[in-house]
Amino acid sequence: MNADTLLSYQWGQMAPEFIILGVAALLSLLDLFLPKSYNRRSLAWIALVGILIAVLSLIGLFDSKTASILHDTFRLDSFGKAFKLILLIGAACVIVLAESYDPREGFKKYRGEFYYLFLTGLLGAMVMTSSGDLITLFVGLELLSVSSYILAGMRKKHAGSNEAAIKYVINGGISTAITLFGMSYLYGLTGTTNLMEMKDVMTAQAASGQYMYLYGLAFFMVLVGLSFKLASAPFHMWAPDVYQGSPTPVTAFLSVVSKTAGFVILLRILLTLFLTMPGDESQTFSFLETHSIYISCLAGISIIAGNVIALRQRNIKRMFAYSSIAHAGYILVAISALGYFTFDAVWFYLMAYLLMNLGAFAVIQLITDASNSEDIADFAGLYRRSPLLAAGFAVFILSLAGIPGTAGFIGKLNIFMNALMTDPGHFVLASIMIGGTVISYFYYFGIMTQMFFRPAATTEKIKVPAGIGTVVVIALAGTILFGVAPNTALDFLHHNFGSFNDFLK
């Protein structure tokens, strides 16, 4: 590739990625050369400014037409723009939480490393959203995964953090191997790694029927491998321990940014390759429609297992890990249904989940740092110690539970309606969603019982740091706004990203 070819590319399409890469490189150099006595907490603001500049550059690309560079390995389409926005907003909130994070041991010394490793993981997630090739998809996935492994074990002298890191690495390695095995079949059968070229070859080959079983194996292996990344049952075994042992900002990062990236790569691969591919010799249904039963099973098992096992948890972060498994099941319902509003439903739910989950983790971080414990009993009497904080936490819990008037309710309603509007309707999945939501009331409302109806162990008032207060206010405003006026988000989505018509072009 000569210089003229390099200069001919529209590098401005990658402006958000270049900004994040530059800030991550800057922070790594600052952390390396600054004296050890320097308080690296202030580096968080450099990371935050970089993320905000990346958001502004992304907004500037909203009106640009769909473009691809580097031989279609990087695609800037409406899908990439919409989900990058979620990733960047979530990352900005996590950085603010990390600035306020102050455990009693094992983090201060490595605070500088946290910021640039976090941005590196964010960069990997952003690359995945715009990848048009299996190679760039995998590079982005591993960039995110390796950074996450290190972040999970950031508290190097904390036994729980060490356990979280080793379990995450082992399970992550297994999932990577399974995913690569499936991708190798796809490459071997099509002779290309480009998703659009691969789609055309697969559609032509599937018409003869002789490759159907091999494509079925590839589909199954990719789905299983990525299910580890999503922490969907029965491939969720790593999530509770990793969520519990990781530093709280890392747990928030895994539950929002990493999970969003997992659904991005799942949608990119499955919908691009298998949506238009015939599923049988009659070519009546697509391959994805014929085999959506596997996604439906993952969705149903995740909803049931996540909500039922969460009932017995006493550790607040472990409870939210199982809650996260259940919410992954809800989103898988939308993907399995493949209705008219699948993209809208998934995007809105991930945005709502970002707001309510980050708001909840902001409160969890504040309480667990102060008490040096993660037991649910530590939230007893929170209403008396900090009425506003308890009220905000209650709104986040109500939204996670899917109570009307919150963004969480609208998100579940969109997925529920999307499942019923297909022909035939996914009535079993819709019933499981309702049953799982009812079960979740027991453990969600158990936290509220502690906050409002249990006596506090101490009457000491809680001082809310500015960073945590900011995240709580932003998350609270978004949760209520999108619950009361959901068209605010949906109109923004349709106005700027249309109906994702350029996804397969």
Q: Are 125 and 87 in contact (CB under 8 A)?
A: yes
Mean per-residue pLDDT for 36-53? 89
Residue 211: the pLDDT is: 82
Q: Are 490 and 348 in contact (CB under 8 A)?
A: yes
SS3 per-residue string spanning 279-346: CCCCCCCEHHHHCHHHHHHHHHHHHHHHHHHHCCCCEHHHHHHHHHHHHHHHHHHHHHHCCCCHHHHH
| Amino acid found at 404 | P
Query: Omega of the bond prior to 424 within 30 degrees of 0, cis?
Result: yes
| Amino acid found at 496 | N
Say whether both 238 and 309 belong to one domain. no
Structural element, H or E, at residue 415: helix 407-420
* pLDDT confidence bin for 470, thresholds 50/70/90: very high
Of the residues 222, 252, 267, which one is the last residue of a structural domain? Answer: 267
- The verdict on residue 244 lying in a domain is yes
Residue 254: the pLDDT is: 92
* pLDDT confidence bin for 200, thresholds 50/70/90: confident
- Asked if pLDDT for residue 339 goes beyond 80, the answer is no
Residue 34: the pLDDT is: 85
As a whole number of angstroms, the distance between CA 390 and CA 367 comes to 11
- The verdict on residue 277 lying in a domain is no
Task: Looking at mean pLDDT, say which of 7-21, 135-149, 336-350 comes out highest.
Answer: 135-149
Contacts of residue 9, Cβ cutoff 8 Å, sequence gap at least 6: 69, 70
Residue 208: the pLDDT is: 67
Say whether both 251 and 351 belong to one domain. no
- Asked if pLDDT for residue 484 goes beyond 60, the answer is yes
| Residue keyed to tokens 């109109």 | 491
Give residue 456's domain range: 291-505
Say whether both 155 and 22 belong to one domain. yes
Say whether both 392 and 261 belong to one domain. no
- Asked if pLDDT for residue 385 goes beyond 70, the answer is yes
Residue 479: the pLDDT is: 94
Say whether both 127 and 63 belong to one domain. yes
Q: 39 in helix, strand or coil?
A: coil
Mean per-residue pLDDT for 260-267? 92
| DSSP secondary structure code for residue 462 in this structure | P
Query: Which pTM was predicted?
Result: 0.94
**Through-space distance between the first and last CA atoms of the chain, rounded to whole angstroms:** 26
At 298, phi and psi to the nearest 5?
A: -60, -40
- Asked if pLDDT for residue 198 goes beyond 80, the answer is yes
* pLDDT confidence bin for 282, thresholds 50/70/90: low
Is 127 exposed, middle or buried, given 0-12, 13-18 or 19+ CB atoms closer than 10 A? buried
- The verdict on residue 448 lying in a domain is yes
- The verdict on residue 246 lying in a domain is yes
- The verdict on residue 188 lying in a domain is no
Report CA-CA distances (Å) from 109 to 20, 39, 156, 369: 23, 9, 10, 17
- Asked if pLDDT for residue 247 goes beyond 60, the answer is yes
Say whether both 312 and 241 belong to one domain. no
* pLDDT confidence bin for 104, thresholds 50/70/90: low
Say whether both 433 and 498 belong to one domain. yes
User: What is the torsional sign of CA 67, 351, 44, 159?
Assistant: negative
At 77, phi and psi to the nearest 5?
A: -120, 180
- Asked if pLDDT for residue 16 goes beyond 70, the answer is yes
Residue 103: the pLDDT is: 72
Say whether both 66 and 120 belong to one domain. yes
Q: CA nearest 78: which of 498, 490, 504?
A: 498
The string of pLDDT tens digits covering residues 405-416 is 999 999 999 999
- CA 97 to the chain's CA centroid: 17
At 24, phi and psi to the nearest 5?
A: -60, -40
Q: Are 347 and 82 in contact (CB under 8 A)?
A: yes
Mean per-residue pLDDT for 451-457? 85
95-99, 320-324, 453-457, 482-486: least confidently modelled range: 453-457
* pLDDT confidence bin for 94, thresholds 50/70/90: very high
- Asked if pLDDT for residue 1 goes beyond 60, the answer is no
| Amino acid found at 371 | S
Number of domains into which the chain is organized: 2
| Amino acid found at 160 | G
Residue 322: the pLDDT is: 95
- The verdict on residue 299 lying in a domain is yes
Q: 154 in helix, strand or coil?
A: coil
Say whether both 138 and 47 belong to one domain. yes
Is 37 exposed, middle or buried, given 0-12, 13-18 or 19+ CB atoms closer than 10 A? exposed
- The verdict on residue 454 lying in a domain is yes
Structural element, H or E, at residue 3: helix 3-8
Which token pair is 80?
A: 């990439």
Q: What percent of the chain has pLDDT over 70?
A: 96
Mean per-residue pLDDT for 172-178? 92
- Asked if pLDDT for residue 246 goes beyond 60, the answer is yes
Say whether both 337 and 414 belong to one domain. yes
* pLDDT confidence bin for 307, thresholds 50/70/90: very high
Say whether both 255 and 296 belong to one domain. no
Residue 251: the pLDDT is: 92
Q: Are 333 and 429 in contact (CB under 8 A)?
A: yes
Q: Are 330 and 259 in contact (CB under 8 A)?
A: no
- The verdict on residue 425 lying in a domain is yes
Which token pair is 397?
A: 């819990």
* pLDDT confidence bin for 403, thresholds 50/70/90: very high
| Amino acid found at 227 | S
Say whether both 302 and 396 belong to one domain. yes
| Residue keyed to tokens 């990525």 | 226
Mean per-residue pLDDT for 23-40? 88
Q: 465 in helix, strand or coil?
A: coil
- Asked if pLDDT for residue 496 goes beyond 80, the answer is yes
Torsion of CA 457, 451, 155, 53, to 10 degrees: -140
103-117, 155-169, 341-355: least confidently modelled range: 103-117
- CA 104 to the chain's CA centroid: 28
- Asked if pLDDT for residue 476 goes beyond 80, the answer is yes
Residue 107: the pLDDT is: 67
Residue 456: the pLDDT is: 78
Mean per-residue pLDDT for 178-204? 90
Q: What percent of the chain has pLDDT over 90?
A: 56
